[in-house]
């Protein structure tokens, strides 16, 4: 704990006597009333899209020239999301500073086009860890440490510290789970206290609720939503805006019931029904006037920059117009992983492909394949008709051999290929086995005693393995090799910054034999012998690229990741060779004729 925090804590504790029980931590530099807060809560059920609503509302307010800062508060006791199974909680999203977070942080980054940090994510594990560390150091001056005021006080300090660090006009607070869950109850109490302490026009409470639409009844039912909203009010919070989640637009009768039951004006009861893409939600909110309602509730109309909004809205609308255009070309992209039964496990890959489909002007049909079911005998059947293959990251041996078969099929049949993290490592193993003749090649993650450990933990990482510090996490610079396909994809820049989450690397002593047989390592770490990107020459393969990084994490709607966009464009060429051929000049046609023929 730094000196400023300690002094703030001691000052507050000095005021917490028998005469007063106030426990309000104001970080250094915090100006009461300068930052406003929008709180997004869920009722009835989880998975309603709180992150989508919150990030969309934050976006349209950012468009107005306001500075916004989101924070996701999770009730689980894990310190971060790094150890969570994708089957239970979706993908782990890694921030540039290495913080492993909930997938909703990816939604915020893509919608706001900002890089977030560890200050934008907190868990009960983090909150309790900080409190217990202070208690062990005697920094509560003998007080009995309690949920109120100390735990709720730490939550408020976390929110106010984000306000100071970000200099935000509005902090958007998303509380994970639903109101009524035991684990997030103290978050909600802290927000009630925050609203009390900050005063009127400081906190706007948004409740997402689910409107049921049973097919057997043929009408929308709002009773569950009403009971969920009652729990919000019983917690001491009066909702200002209600977003009604439903497969179809919520009718006026239901909106009127919700309005009357919750004391929320009808104009602030918003129908958040299903749409084709989450990128349509910001304009839905804007057309419903939710941005103006928030400005009124928080009394910050005077902070709006209308010219900024006009510019931002034109840019976003151009993207939306392309998104909604009918696309004449369709390609089939296979995602070959082992968590494919849960789409959220690969949420960032899904979104990166959506970004690319807009910019490449094609529709992408994603086929999800479980690699635990793939072997040498059936790989061709599983991959028949695909125009591109992605092998994503993952941990553990299950499904690994199936991934290797997918890599081999892509390489030998000239199918455009993109390997991500483990997909990079499996590409190295496959190449070592079937091109270099190292039949015993493997990774020590799966086979510690294998004959040829082409993938291993590097010596400097092994020294700190016992300390749990050998995971390479967060944003890292990659030096790109001149003259390579990957360097050209990144605009011939010498370096690019990508995000990583892995332990195992290409064993340096195998690099010469791999390169001698035609594998090109086109990106590496600045100061270590760590290979981070690979490819096959354009004369050998139309598109065979892999990276140890997760480029999907930094893909944005207006700036799709170049590796993904390259895969999509190569897949379009495979699917529609005649269209591509017709657009080539004479020299390009002669070159194209010399390339190996491929079948769809």
336 and 297 in a common domain:
no
d(CA 390, CA 419): 6
pLDDT above 90 for 46: no
**What is residue 594's predicted lDDT score, i.e. its pLDDT?**
41
Preceding amide of 149 cis, omega within 30? yes
Flag whether 26 is in a domain: no
Q: Identify whether 23 is part of a domain.
A: no
Considering the domain architecture, whether residues 367 and 478 belong to the same structural domain is answered as yes
For residues 452 and 535, membership in a common domain is answered with yes
In this predicted structure, the answer to whether residue 485 has a pLDDT above a threshold of 90 is yes
Count up the domains in the chain and report the number: 2
Q: What is the CATH number of the domain that holds 459?
A: 3.40.50.880
- Mean of pLDDT over the chain: 90
- At 169-205, the pLDDT tens digits run 999 999 999 998 999 999 999 999 999 999 999 999 9
Distance CA 325, CA 317 (A): 12
Residues 210, 279: one domain? Answer: yes
Per the domain annotation, does 321 fall within a domain? no
Residues 394 and 446 grouped into a single domain: yes
Which residue from 421, 443, 400, 438 is spatially nearest to 534, judged by alpha carbons?
421
Helix (H, G, I), strand (E, B) or coil at 536: coil
Residue 368 lies in a domain: yes
The pLDDT-based confidence of 8 (bands split at 50, 70, 90) is: low
* pLDDT level of residue 302 (50, 70, 90 thresholds): very high
Whether the CB-CB separation of 545 and 418 falls below 8 Å is answered with yes
Identify whether residues 285 and 341 lie together within a single domain: no
* 24 part of a folded domain: no
User: What's the pTM?
Assistant: 0.90
Per-residue pLDDT at 595: 43
Q: Please give the Cα distance from 421 to 233 (Å, whole number).
A: 46
Confidence of residue 528 (pLDDT cuts 50, 70, 90): confident
Place of tokens 């002007």: 361
Tokens (6 digits) for 513: 């034999």
- Judge if 337 and 282 occupy the same domain: no
- Tell whether 152 is covered by a domain: yes
Judgement on whether residues 285 and 389 belong to the same structural domain of the protein: no
Q: What is the pLDDT of residues 224-237, one digit of tens each?
A: 999 999 999 999 99
User: Quick check: 16 pLDDT over 70?
Assistant: no
> Which range marks the domain in which residue 518 is found?
326-590
d(CA 135, CA 139): 6
Asked whether residue 340 falls in the same domain as residue 254, the answer is no
In a domain, 287, yes or no: yes
Sign, CA torsion 189/190/195/197: positive
Q: What is the CATH number of the domain that holds 46?
A: 3.40.50.300
Are 203 and 39 contacting, i.e. CB atoms less than 8 angstroms apart?
Answer: yes
250 with 283, same domain? Answer: yes
Strands (E), 252-396: 269-273, 330-337, 363-370, 388-391
* Statement: residue 465 has pLDDT above 60: no
Query: Percentage of the chain with pLDDT > 70?
Result: 90
Residue 591's CB is within 10 A of a number of other CB atoms, namely: 11
Residue 17 located in a structural domain:
no
For 547-599, write each residue's pLDDT tens digit: 999 999 999 999 999 999 999 999 999 999 877 545 545 454 444 444 443 43
DSSP annotation of 85: -
| Same domain membership, residue 291 and residue 168 | yes
For residues 368 and 409, membership in a common domain is answered with: yes
The CA distance from 264 to 282, in Å, is: 21
Confidence of residue 472 (pLDDT cuts 50, 70, 90): confident
């Amino acid at each position: 704990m730094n000196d400023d925090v300690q002094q703030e804590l001691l000052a507050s504790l000095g005021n917490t006597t028998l005469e007063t029980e106030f426990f309000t931590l104001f970080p250094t530099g915090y100006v009461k009333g300068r930052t406003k807060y929008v709180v997004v809560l869920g009722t009835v059920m989880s998975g309603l899209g709180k992150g989508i609503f919150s990030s969309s509302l934050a976006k349209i307010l950012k468009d107005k020239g306001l500075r916004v800062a989101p924070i996701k508060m999770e009730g689980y006791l894990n310190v971060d999301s790094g150890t969570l199974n994708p089957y239970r909680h979706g993908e782990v999203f890694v921030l540039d500073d290495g913080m492993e977070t909930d997938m909703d942080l990816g939604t915020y980054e893509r919608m706001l086009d900002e890089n977030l940090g560890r200050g934008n994510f907190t868990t009960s594990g983090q909150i309790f860890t900080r409190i217990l560390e202070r208690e062990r150091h005697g920094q509560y001056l003998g007080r009995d440490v309690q949920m109120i005021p100390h735990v709720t006080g730490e939550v408020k300090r976390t929110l106010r510290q984000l306000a100071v660090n970000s200099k935000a006009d509005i902090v958007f607070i998303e509380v994970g789970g639903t109101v009524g869950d035991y684990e997030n109850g103290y978050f909600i109490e802290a927000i009630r206290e925050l609203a009390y302490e900050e005063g009127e026009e400081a906190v706007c409470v948004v409740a997402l609720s689910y409107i049921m639409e049973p097919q057997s009844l043929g009408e929308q039912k709002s009773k569950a939503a009403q009971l969920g909203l009652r729990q919000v009010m019983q917690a001491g919070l009066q909702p200002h805006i209600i977003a009604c989640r439903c497969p179809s637009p919520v009718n006026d009768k239901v909106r009127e019931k919700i309005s009357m039951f919750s004391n929320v004006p009808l104009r602030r009861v918003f129908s958040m029904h299903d749409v084709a893409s989450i990128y349509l939600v910001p304009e839905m909110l804007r057309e419903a006037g939710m941005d103006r309602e928030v400005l009124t509730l928080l009394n910050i109309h005077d902070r709006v920059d209308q010219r900024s909004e006009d510019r931002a809205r034109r840019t976003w609308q151009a993207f939306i117009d392309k998104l909604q255009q009918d696309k004449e070309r369709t390609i089939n992209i296979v995602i070959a992983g082992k968590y494919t039964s849960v789409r959220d496990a690969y949420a960032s890959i899904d979104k990166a492909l959506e970004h690319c489909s807009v910019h490449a002007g094609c529709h992408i049909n994603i086929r999800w394949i479980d690699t635990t079911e793939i072997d040498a005998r059936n790989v061709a059947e599983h991959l028949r008709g695909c125009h591109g293959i992605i092998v994503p990251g993952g941990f553990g041996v299950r499904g690994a051999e199936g991934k290797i078969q997918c890599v081999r099929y892509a390489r030998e049949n000239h199918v455009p290929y993109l390997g991500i993290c483990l997909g990079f490592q499996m590409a190295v193993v496959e190449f070592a086995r079937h091109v270099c003749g190292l039949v015993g090649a493997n990774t020590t993650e799966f086979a510690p005693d294998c004959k040829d450990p082409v993938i291993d933990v590097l010596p400097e990482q092994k020294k700190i393995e016992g300390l749990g510090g050998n995971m390479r996490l967060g944003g890292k610079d990659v030096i790109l090799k001149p003259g390579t396909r990957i360097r050209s994809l990144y605009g011939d820049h010498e370096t690019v910054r990508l995000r990583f989450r892995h332990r195992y690397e290409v064993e340096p002593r195998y690099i010469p034999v791999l390169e001698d047989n035609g594998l090109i390592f086109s990106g590496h770490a600045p100061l270590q012998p760590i290979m981070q990107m690979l490819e096959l020459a354009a004369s050998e393969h139309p598109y065979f690229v892999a990276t140890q990084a997760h480029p999907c994490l930094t893909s944005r709607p207006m700036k799709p990741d170049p590796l993904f966009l390259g895969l999509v464009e190569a897949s379009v060429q495979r699917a529609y060779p005649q269209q591509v051929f017709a657009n080539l000049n004479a020299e390009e046609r002669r070159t194209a004729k010399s390339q190996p023929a491929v079948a769809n």
